[in-house]
Chains A and B, each alone.
Chain A
Amino acid sequence: MTAPSHRAFDTAVPLEAPEDLAGLEASPAAAAIGVRRRLPPGLILSGIFVAVLIAASIAPSVFTHFDPLVGDFSEGLKPPGWVHLFGTDRLGRDVFARTIFGTRYSLLIGFGGVAVGLGAGIVLGIIAGQRNRILDEAVSRLFDMLSSFPGVLLAMLIVTFLGQGMLNIAIAVGIAGIPKFGRVVRAQTQLIRDADYVTQAAIYGLSRWQVFIRHVLPNVLVAIPIIATVYIGSTILIVSGLSFLGLGPQPPTPEWGVMLAESRDVLRVAWWPGVFPGVAITATVIAFSVIGNHLQQRFEGRLA
């Protein structure tokens, strides 16, 4: 009775199907809730990794009993083993402990940098997104100027002016990130500025300021957490690069970039003092990018 289907299909679930099923007055939401997709394993892994990073930056001593700053010279350059999971560096300090304690610096400067970039980017982006062409031109050219330097170079330049240190480096990468955030916010503002519901609000008789506060601003800000997550990874990468060059936290601070720099001299005889912090940086950047990209895809189209 039932003939074989035209084609052997795998288990892919079509997106349109539930919509099509929704009857005359049935709600499409019910259909959307009905199908629960499994999260991709890469995303779950990234989520767990970021959770561990946050835990490690809040309470690093839970993960290790070694002191990240004090080492035993006689234990120098021991390969990874049971006592020293990631081995020891030239001064006999535990690389695992240093990597764990280093998490807070990378995250803190990363978040701080994104916060600075976002704060300035939101304000400038919203200004540029208004209907004033002169303001838009001025701000957009500023963005062009900032983004014409490579991020690392610009941050280096700013650190040279401000001086070394964690706060300054956060400000520096923040400024370097302004055009990225600013352009996204500007585009989002322009999109929402012309949305039908903003026109509708004008028909209610709301003033321009009321319309902006009630309808434009909140809908622009909806996208912010997503943009922020996407860029945290790349910000951390720049921070590590600057630290590597000696522009960030100074030794003996167990910052990942600093650790990489210190490991250079011994790389010929011992790979572990360099590889582990390197892997930590790479994994952190990937984890944040995976989560950010997932959020972006998921909320695509819902934001406008």
Chain B
Amino acid sequence: MTGSALQKDRAAPIVEVQGLSIGFAGANGDKPIVTDFDLTIRPGECVALVGESGSGKSITARSLLNLAGEGARTAARRFVIKGRDARNFSEADWRKLRGTVTGLVMQDALVSLDPLRTIGQEVAEVISSHRILTNPGAIRDRTLETLGKVGIPNPADRALQYAHQLSGGLRQRALIASAIAADPDLIIADEPTTSLDVTVQAQVLHVLAERIREGAGLLLISHDLAVVAGIADRVIVMRDGRVVDSGPTRDVLTHPRHPYTRQLIAAIPSGQSRGSRLASARFELGAADPAAIAIVREPLPQRRAAGEVVLEVEGIAKSFVAPKAAGRAKSVVLQDISFDVRVGEVVGIVGESGSGKSTCAKIVLGLLPPDEGEVRLLGQPWSSVAEAHRRRLRRKLQYIPQDALSSFDPRYRVSDIIAENLPRSDSRIARLDRIVSLLELVGLNADHLNRLPRSLSGGQRQRVSIARALAAEPAVIVCDEPVSALDICIQAQVLDLLTELQSRLGTALLFISHDLGVIEHLCDRVLVFQNGRIVEQGDAGAVLKHPRHAYTQSLLASVPDIRRGLGTGLAAAHA
């Protein structure tokens, strides 16, 4: 490790930036959005750029390709790319640079790859347009070689496929292939694994790590500290366009200097944070051993013991038949799913995309009839009766979606959104009182009554969504990835709110998430879904610590973990 680190230090940097500032004419009062940013990346080195949305990390990374956006004004004390001063580059100079010196991998491969071209054409174009090779045969060989390099099986067949015909993981790899086809010295990856399942994420990270070993530099932009811990040599933490913390990964993550970095690390949910608050968690120096830093957390109110069963799912199955054009192929989405949810209990559902989690949620919510089996709510038939009969019980079963904004009628104000879910028998004034008290319950106030959801932040929107669900005084709330679109600090606040309200009101939660940390932090019991079946279920702590099923084990092994990534123990203690 130290030997290679020394070697890395000796090599000439691919990119060296000092005092970079980026602004947009006419925006932000003509003040720059990013200020005083320094970065050096050497061959074989990975630097991670971490920060919440709006911190300026993407714009900063893109400015290395002069792709910060139209009207961007960049200035730097020093801006050297491969030994050349980039401050005086013309657009033509930058174009030559893109692909050959720097390659960009974006988050969403489906929109980043041309839908009308095969991935082979996509990769070949990079090679031919930079005139690296001109012989069609050689371009073809190089294309297939590149596809193979990023771990795409049967490159010759896959090269003929379009982006939409590939799975998420293969698609992301094809995007990486097009970024590295011209053998760039530096790969810039902007949240390359954010929309991927953990097992696929692990594969993509492996491909990137392979490139680093081959001598490429990597600038990895991520909001996920655990991903960063496993791959980055150095970390730069950004907030509001400024670097607040930077240094070797291990130092930054185990001994964060800046309060913001500390908060970021302390707010990560896990088994250790169970029963305590996340948003107020803080780092503290150990009394005995000053080198050991502990996370101190405040406890949450005691949870009630689980009571009687409120939701029963018995042997449900669902399959979809493809339209005639697609050959009427039958695909089984759910098979023999049985579980129950009790009063005061949080039941988690984990699984990869396509495992049937969301279909299961739809059936539970009575939006989709099961082919077989039955759902019972509060001891009464639910899935087997007509919608008209379900309607009077509907208020007992509420829903918190991932994307709160799209679940609000765009014309409605916050007060209308919540009022719609209140009993209509109440008087206007009683309803207004109730709305205000619900808003206060979720940490908002009367000032938000007349706001349009569009004008609220992501965290506030999710709070309104929670208030709306609680307005019905439900027995069960189905939560479908309610925090996965939120930044870590906001996620911590919303999770704290959910757990606190849950323990105070005793509402049962059916909590769907792909994030095992969130599940372990929050859930009493967990159901592991794979290919439409429950492969393992039981106490959340037990299942996630000592998984018995091979799938759960591989799922857990794929989850990036700060401690494992650093190969060290991060001491944790409860206050």
B residues at A contact (CB < 8 Å)? 24-28, 33, 52, 54, 56, 59, 66, 69-77, 79, 86-91, 94, 240, 365, 367, 388, 390-395, 397-399, 401, 403, 406-411, 420-421, 452, 454-457, 459-460, 472, 487, 489-490
Give the complex CA separation of A202 and B27 in angstroms: 42
Central interface residue in A6, A14, A207, A218, by most chain B CB within 10 Å: A6
A:195-241 near B, CB below 8 Å = 195-197, 199-205, 207, 214-215, 218-219, 222
Whether a CB of chain B sits under 8 angstroms from the CB of A150 is: no
Central interface residue in B71, B75, B394, by most chain A CB within 10 Å: B71
Q: How far is the CB of B25 from chain A (nearest CB, A)?
A: 6
- Measured between beta carbons, the chain A residues less than 8 angstroms from B456 are 27
Other-chain residue from B86, B395, B399, B407 in contact with A6 (beta carbon distance below 8 A): B86
Give the complex CA separation of A302 and B454 in angstroms: 10
Give the complex CA separation of A205 and B473 in angstroms: 13
Known: A16-B69, A24-B489. A196 touches B27 (CB 8 A): no
Other-chain residue from B66, B367, B397 in contact with A7 (beta carbon distance below 8 A): B66
- Measured between beta carbons, the chain B residues less than 8 angstroms from A35 are 26-27
Query: Can you name 13 extra interface pairs (CB under 8 A) apart from A6-B86, A9-B73, A201-B409?
Result: A6-B66, A6-B87, A18-B27, A20-B54, A20-B56, A24-B54, A24-B487, A26-B457, A35-B26, A203-B365, A203-B397, A218-B411, A303-B410
A residues at B contact (CB < 8 Å)? 1-7, 9-14, 16-30, 35, 195-197, 199-205, 207, 214-215, 218-219, 222, 302-304
Known: A9-B25, A21-B28. A4 touches B87 (CB 8 A): yes
B54 touches A3 (CB 8 A): no
A219 touches B52 (CB 8 A): no
Known: A5-B73, A13-B71, A203-B399. A24 touches B87 (CB 8 A): no
Central interface residue in B27, B367, B406, B421, by most chain A CB within 10 Å: B27
Q: How far is the CB of A61 from chain B (nearest CB, A)?
A: 43
B71 touches A196 (CB 8 A): no
Write the chain B residue with the least CB distance to A2. Answer: B75
- Measured between beta carbons, the chain B residues less than 8 angstroms from A201 are 409, 420
Once A and B bind, how many residue pairs between them come within 8 Å at the CB atom?
Answer: 139
Give the complex CA separation of A21 and B55 in angstroms: 8
B25 touches A195 (CB 8 A): no
B76 touches A24 (CB 8 A): no
Q: How far is the CB of B295 from chain A (nearest CB, A)?
A: 21
- Measured between beta carbons, the chain A residues less than 8 angstroms from B26 are 11, 13, 35
B454 touches A196 (CB 8 A): no
Give the complex CA separation of A108 and B59 in angstroms: 53
Other-chain residue from B59, B77, B240, B459 in contact with A1 (beta carbon distance below 8 A): B77
Shortest beta-carbon contacts, A-B, top 8: A205-B394, A29-B455, A17-B27, A17-B24, A196-B406, A196-B407, A200-B407, A3-B87
Other-chain residue from A3, A17, A303 in contact with B75 (beta carbon distance below 8 A): A3
B71 touches A17 (CB 8 A): yes
Write the chain A residue with the least CB distance to B396. Answer: A205
Other-chain residue from A4, A17, A24, A28 in contact with B454 (beta carbon distance below 8 A): A28
B457 touches A14 (CB 8 A): no
Known: A17-B28, A196-B401, A219-B410. A23 touches B240 (CB 8 A): yes
